[in-house]
Amino acid sequence: MTGDARDDSPPVLGEVRDGVGIVTLNRPATINAWSTSMATHYFDVLEQMADDPAVVVILVRGAGRGFCAGADTKVLNKIADAGGATPDRETRPYWHAWTIGKPVVAALHGPCYTVGLQQALCCDMRFAAQDARIAAPYARLGLNAEVGIGWLLSRLVGVAGALEFFISGREISGEEAGAIGLVNRVFPADELFERSFDYCARVAASSSPWSLRTIKHQAYADLMTTSHTAAFERSEALMQEALRGADFAEALAAMREKRPAAFVPLDPALARIDIPPGE
């Protein structure tokens, strides 16, 4: 998607294709600069995708020249004029994508700065164009590392790597982001969306929605615990549930009959994930 949206277009778009919910940040004239309105629409569209049984995997991208250039400067100026007050801030947490009971993949191209990077880190996986430009120059702006981004990045690239990135404020390419573990895969810019979509569509066609939801929940729940025994006990209880489940029986039948498995859609009651607090 390369053209600028009309002024009356919503700031976030959603469509469903082949089991993939495509979420598009849609303020291309500002390189999808983040605002309260965009946050509200983005979280709303994620929730719509969570509730849609036709969606198995969610893919987030940016319209136009980049993924997200960071906070809207108009919003920043208003905050500065108000002495730092942010009265209209979105009330749902910035890690809202974690609470969606389906895998969320970000496809990063062009600028991905500050809060745009933070939102990409809250997706479960990140794919990037080779020439993506990723930065979090908070130190150059007289700011701290916002909305928990230090916690997020240090778990991907290590504390020293995160500190170097934040302290220098430098911009890294998609290639370097892949080398340090910030993104999962790196593609040529003109292939990013197609290859990211193909990955998501293959997962949607071959995987149990219940399993995808449960594994995502496990990963974040285990991340929040300091006890390996708690993680083990959680996995054992879930395994017993899985072995009794319809998806496991269907997977075995499909292997016997040499056909694709036909898994049931995710139960709407499981469309949200409750991330536990740190233990």
Q: What angle, 0 to 180 degrees and rounded to 10, lies between the N-to-C axes of helices 228-243 and 246-257?
A: 60
Model pLDDT, residue 270: 94
Neighbours of 195 (CB within 10 A): 14
pLDDT tens track, the chain, 279 positions: 434 444 578 999 999 999 999 999 999 999 999 999 999 999 999 999 999 999 999 999 999 999 999 997 666 545 544 455 455 678 899 999 999 999 999 999 999 999 999 999 999 999 999 999 999 999 998 999 987 899 999 999 999 999 999 999 999 999 999 999 999 999 999 999 999 999 999 999 999 999 999 999 999 999 888 788 988 898 999 999 999 999 999 999 999 999 999 999 999 999 999 876 654
Q: Which CATH number is 208-270's, of 1.10.10, 1.10.12, 1.20.59, 1.20.58?
A: 1.10.12
Q: At a CB cut-off of 8 Å and minimum separation 6, what does 174 contact? A: 108, 109, 128, 129, 130, 131, 132, 134, 183, 186
Residues 75-80: contacts with CB under 8 Å, at least 24 apart: 75/34, 75/35, 75/36
Contact of 1 with 61, CB cutoff 8 Å: yes
Residues 236-258: pLDDT tens digits? Answer: 999 999 999 999 999 999 999 99
Coil vs helix vs strand at 200: helix
Give, in degrees to the nearest 5, the angle at Cα 62 between 61 and 66.
125
Domain ranges of the chain: 12-204, 208-270
117-136 pLDDT tens trace: 999 999 999 999 999 999 99
Give the Cα separation of 138 and 167 in Å (integer): 8
CATH of 12-204, one of 3.90.226.10, 3.40.50.2000, 3.90.1150.10, 3.30.559.10: 3.90.226.10
d(CA 209, CA 215): 10
Tokens of 35: 């605002």
Q: What's the pLDDT at 20?
A: 98
Residue 260, CB-side half-sphere exposure with 13 Å CA sphere: 10
How far is it, in rounded angstroms, from Cα 4 to Cα 270?
36
pTM for this predicted structure: 0.91
Same fold, 12-204 and 208-270: no
Pairing state between β 57-62 and 20-25:
parallel
Confidence at residue 7, expressed as pLDDT on a 0 to 100 scale: 54
